[in-house]
Amino acid sequence: MSKLQIALILIGALFVVGMILFNWWQQRSHRRRTESLFESKHDDVLLDDFRPGSIQDGRVEHQLVDIGDEGPLEEPVMIDDIAEELDSEPAASSPVHFADAEIDYIAEIQTSAPIGAEEMAEVFRRKYDFGKRVGVYGLNIDSGCWEEPHARPKYRNFKISLQLVDRSGVISLAKLSEFRDMVVGVAAHLGATEHCPEINEAHSRAILLDKFCAEVDMLIGINVMSRGEETFAGTKIRGLAEAAGFRLEADGTFKYFDEQGAHLFSLCNHEPAVFLPDGIRHLSTHGITFLLDVPCVAQGRQAFDQMITLAKNFSATLGGVLVDDKRLMLNDTGFDKIRRLLQEIKLKMESRQIVPGGERALRLFS
């Protein structure tokens, strides 16, 4: 064997080892995200009577679709990044989502003369320091409209909002105080007038909102499990999923969308390994799980019925059985119980002007 052949074999071996290590790292990273879906303890709504206060002990902390969305950025935001952000015009197809007085703490800065968005650089630099969503909006002196600031226009006033509640819980009073102090400092630097609502009142309101969100925050799952020691092949699962209209996303789950592009429910591996494009051909599992994120779906009952139909089809094709998280068989009686529960949650959310699947709900349950 020549030296060239030996070198090529070594290079090939190193490449294979590198790919194995890379796939292992991806699996490990995705597994952590997927496991977060199952870590929270929910009442089994198929077996137990629903008790509104039974899930208040802790909020569900879900990771969203974007694999790059790891929560607040930890690396500092540089001045060049701020300039680039300000220089970009707001996309015409993406309307500005203004601050929401029900779920945001909204501070105002009133300037005596028009200023450019670059004067708010300190706010942009610290957008990710508070653990919650921060919005910045300016009153364009030419259009007379509030908008997310960018480089060319001049603005007379600004509103800076901090979301009080999301799925990870309520904002801390310390962070809220820190946010207010930042706004006060920016206004002083500009020689402007600031108005900051009383933080203790805002925090008390946030605690009540978080308590309500905990009462309606529910994830409904249907498991399709194999019989005995049999397993389902990953390639067969992928074929069924794609034929049914699911789309494999970067977080390692299949997601089902309606015609308007709204996410209805997901299909996950019941075991820790996630569905990766390069690894699914070698994957086998004893079960899969259909998941419906109740507050985030506009037509929960219809989506649930779709999910049941698909779960039954998958079960029949794969030769599996439908069970709940306690491995008890699911039946129409249990499904009817879920439908009633979904209607109760919908009415309860709407009574608080939080429409399931609406913009406010998607922000609160993100």
At 190 the pLDDT is 95
pLDDT in tens, 314-362: 999 999 999 998 889 999 999 999 999 999 999 999 999 999 999 999 9
**When comparing pLDDT for 200 and 53, which is higher?**
200
Q: pTM above 0.75?
A: no
Mean pLDDT of the chain: 83
Q: At what angle do helices 300-318 and 234-244 cross, to 10 degrees?
A: 140
pLDDT at residue 152, as a whole number: 86
Is 167 within 8 Å of 61 (Cβ atoms)? yes
Q: Which domains are seen in the chain, by residue range?
A: 79-213 (3.30.1400), 217-364 (3.30.1400.10)
Q: Is the pLDDT of residue 74 over 60?
A: no
The pLDDT of residue 115 is above 50: yes
pLDDT tens track for 308-320 = 999 999 999 999 9
What is the per-residue pLDDT for 21?
61
d(CA 85, CA 76): 15
More confident residue, 44 or 313: 313
Going from the C-alpha of 128 to that of each of 22, 97, 131, 133, 167, the distances in angstroms are 30, 18, 6, 8, 17
